[in-house]
């Protein structure tokens, strides 16, 4: 599965989203959707721009995006778009949000891009190929134990009560009682790019939607890491939104045991 043509289009999608987002950075104000989550004109313009390209190039494929209704395809493939993953960071003027672009085949992620429009960093993963950052191959790093890991999550406030309890058990295993591990908050999709580049060891989140995690899987796994739900199952279109990303797959059982989920 080479996906050369699809990758070229995915780069065009990311370029179009960048062009739509950059003029609004540190200028846009928030609106609020029915679920009270924030959205900006940049979110909508970026998704509009990407959808126009896809409807011209791959109208037979489905499109799932955060801001607009699903486009039903007939090919067994879906493009999954999150124009700004980390809208709160975007609104706060922090360049740690990203545009997420994924291609799914029969529900499984086969291509993913994490693009940071302001810094100009772009991670690309596709099945069977090494992950790249701005065209250069990147790799995750080894992690000898949880108490030596760097753990990241966007915010502990995003967990429900059960998830928060499980996460705090993991956080204690990493950084409690004067252990050597460290914990980082904030970052959304940017954390997964950093993990793929060997800067972080674990990312743990829950309550994610398909457009939040689909693009991350090829990026992390193409760099030598692994992603799963909190039961250790691979992530696909039917996953429950609980997410673990590991730079060193050997730590998966340790993380699952610590979560006790």
Sequence ranges of the binding site: 66, 82, 84-85, 212
CA nearest neighbour of 255 among 189, 181, 185, 196: 181
Quickly list H helices, the chain: 4-21, 41-57, 87-91, 161-175, 190-196, 210-213, 216-222, 252-259
Contact indicator for 185, 152 with CB cutoff of 8 Å: yes
Contact indicator for 193, 138 with CB cutoff of 8 Å: no
Q: Can you give the length of the chain in residues?
A: 261
Which residue ranges are tagged as binding site for Mg(2+)? 66, 82, 84-85, 212
CA nearest neighbour of 255 among 226, 235, 222, 220: 226
Token duo for residue 128: 């069977």
Contact indicator for 140, 186 with CB cutoff of 8 Å: no
């Amino acid at each position: 599965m080479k996906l050369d043509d699809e990758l070229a289009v995915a780069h065009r999608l990311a370029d179009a989203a960048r062009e739509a987002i950059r003029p609004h950075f540190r200028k846009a104000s928030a609106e609020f959707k029915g679920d009270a989550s924030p959205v900006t004109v940049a979110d909508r313009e970026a998704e509009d721009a990407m959808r126009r390209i896809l409807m011209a190039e791959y109208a037979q494929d489905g499109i799932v995006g955060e801001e607009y209704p699903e486009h039903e395809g007939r090919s067994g493939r879906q493009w999954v778009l999150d124009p700004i993953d980390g809208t709160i960071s975007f609104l706060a003027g922090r360049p740690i949000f990203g545009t997420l672009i994924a291609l799914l085949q029969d529900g499984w992620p086969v291509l993913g891009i994490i693009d940071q429009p302001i810094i100009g960093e772009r991670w690309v993963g596709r099945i069977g190929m090494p992950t790249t950052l701005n065209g250069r191959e990147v790799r995750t790093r080894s992690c000898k134990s949880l108490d030596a890991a760097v753990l990241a999550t966007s915010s502990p406030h995003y967990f429900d009560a059960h998830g928060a309890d499980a996460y705090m058990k993991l956080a204690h295993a990493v950084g409690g009682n004067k252990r050597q591990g460290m914990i980082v908050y904030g970052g959304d999709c940017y954390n997964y790019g950093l993990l793929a580049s060997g800067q972080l060891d674990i990312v743990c989140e829950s309550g994610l939607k398909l457009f939040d995690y689909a693009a991350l899987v090829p990026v992390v796994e193409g760099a030598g890491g692994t992603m799963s739900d909190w039961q250790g199952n691979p992530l696909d279109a039917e996953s429950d939104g609980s997410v673990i990303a590991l730079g060193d797959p050997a730590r998966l059982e340790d993380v699952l045991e610590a979560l006790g989920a």
